[in-house]
Structure 1
């Protein structure tokens, strides 16, 4: 598995498609802060997106899509002069899975939201800017458009399990959007996500994620990346914010924490599976990273959900 796949799997990424929006004329809707990561795609027409805390309006054209990586209120509008109204009542009146605003149908948006497990905020969302905008004309945006076309087909044909298939396709779209974002704006990401933009660091990250239980050395990782040890160490630290072996320790603890949350394996089994030769070795590392002993972590669900537990360095349109 590669690092992006690993993290999205660890976070139990799920998509939830919701009511579409058709709008025309002059209109403006204000939405409450969404749960999870909000996404929308403009399938027809154009409009403006405004997000609290982000300066200015973002013009959205046909074929554009965006992710809201922070739970912030936002506005979709036809023009800057129209006063927004609460989106809630508009979507309450939706018929056939479509809400309507203004007069006409020149604008059509589809989308939904992504939900994640408890570790998403620190492992993924904090690594992204508040808004990820993918313009239709940007390089490789065709992959996102293709996923959206397939989602449309599933939802309009009404075949068995169409909603399930469409939701899986939405996760595929998320992967493409993150890839495109990394290719286009590598400096707006941070941590492991930023490391994927550097081919040297990405090679080392891929090796670590491919076999996290292996007793890696910096020299071995440098060979994987075809650079010197000093080059790898410097570039890894600059991109990710920590050294490669420190990153490996934190990733192993993430994997161990998941097993402690979800399974009943003994601590010795968990330790061996993530590269520690004994329970005591895992316990020392786990407590150093999390501040908790593994047994306490397993017995304390409330602490497991805390974003600081393991630290590695409402109505809305579709």
Structure 2
């Protein structure tokens, strides 16, 4: 399994929601900070996007998408000078998940939201507050197909509607991440940038394939086919952290999933992740997760 698929499969989706918006005439809507990761795609028309903490408004056209990776309030509007109404005022009257504002004849947007558990940091922490995906790339054709299918499912509910929309939403999320990575100018260190680099991506895939291995910078450099110094520099440039720090963080991603399952002993988890003793595992876990494995498990169980 490739690293992106693996990380997405590890994310525990606590909730998800999908909705549409039709608007027309003069309109402006203010949205509260989303709970989780939110993406919207413009099916028809144009609008302005304003995101809390982002200096300039962003003009969006049909086929454009945006992904909000932080819990920040945002606004959508036809005219920047208009005062906004609260989104609850129109979404409470939504029919089949589609809300209407104004004349509802010039603009159509599909939105999705995923609320994940606490494993999302690896995937989303280094993304900008808003990631814009412009229409026009080759991969956008798959995104547009999923977009049209979600629009159809929302407008014409049929048996199995919810599961179809959820899977299409996952397809859209992956495509948005792929297209964002393919755009020029995305050079801020992040996990997504790292896996898109052939050499660093190969290193990450090797770590994921055998997380319990006694990895060193030297043997990871052999996987990449470069010197130790080159790997250390390039990994830091792409991922924002050192190679062995990534090994530790990935092990903790796997550890938290195992601890939540509650059917494996802490000693067994430590051994499966390559730690020689429970104390070594506990020390590594505390350094990254800021609590002991036992405390993490107890907290996870209390949340169920």
Q: TM-score, normalised by structure 1?
A: 0.86
Which sections of structure 1, spanning at least 5 residues, go unmatched? 305-318
Q: Count matched residues.
A: 304
Other-structure match for 1:233 = 232
Other-structure match for 1:311 = none
Other-structure match for 2:67 = 67
Does residue 243 in structure 1 map to residue 242 in structure 2?
yes
Other-structure match for 1:99 = 99
Residue pair 1:48, 1:76 contacting (<8 A) in 2 also: yes
Q: TM-score, normalised by structure 2?
A: 0.89
Residue pair 1:14, 1:116 contacting (<8 A) in 2 also: yes
Superposed CA offset, 1:150-202 (max 9, x none) = 32344455442122121111112111111211221564543423312322211
Does residue 130 in structure 1 map to residue 134 in structure 2?
no
Other-structure match for 2:208 = 209
Distance 2:123 2:134 in 1: 22
Does residue 274 in structure 1 map to residue 264 in structure 2?
no
**Residues 127 and 70 of structure 1, relative CA distance in 2, 3 Å threshold:** same
Does residue 264 in structure 1 map to residue 240 in structure 2?
no
Correspondence list, 1:139-288, <5 A? 139-156=138-155, 158-184=157-183, 187=186, 189-288=188-287
Other-structure match for 1:52 = 52
Superposed CA offset, 1:186-245 (max 9, x none) = 645434233123222111111111221222232332222222222112211222233212
Residue pair 1:15, 1:170 contacting (<8 A) in 2 also: no
**Residues 253 and 303 of structure 1, relative CA distance in 2, 3 Å threshold:** farther
User: Offset of 1:290 from its aligned partner?
Assistant: 3.4
Which sections of structure 2, spanning at least 5 residues, go unmatched? none
Does 1 or 2 have the higher relative contact order (CA < 8 Å, sep 6+)?
1
Q: Secondary structure at the match of 2:101?
A: strand
Q: Secondary structure at the match of 1:127?
A: coil
Q: Secondary structure at the match of 2:30?
A: strand
**Residues 236 and 24 of structure 1, relative CA distance in 2, 3 Å threshold:** same
- 38-47 or 268-277, larger mean C-alpha shift: 268-277
Distance 1:293 1:71 in 2: 27
Distance 2:146 2:96 in 1: 22
Other-structure match for 2:83 = 83
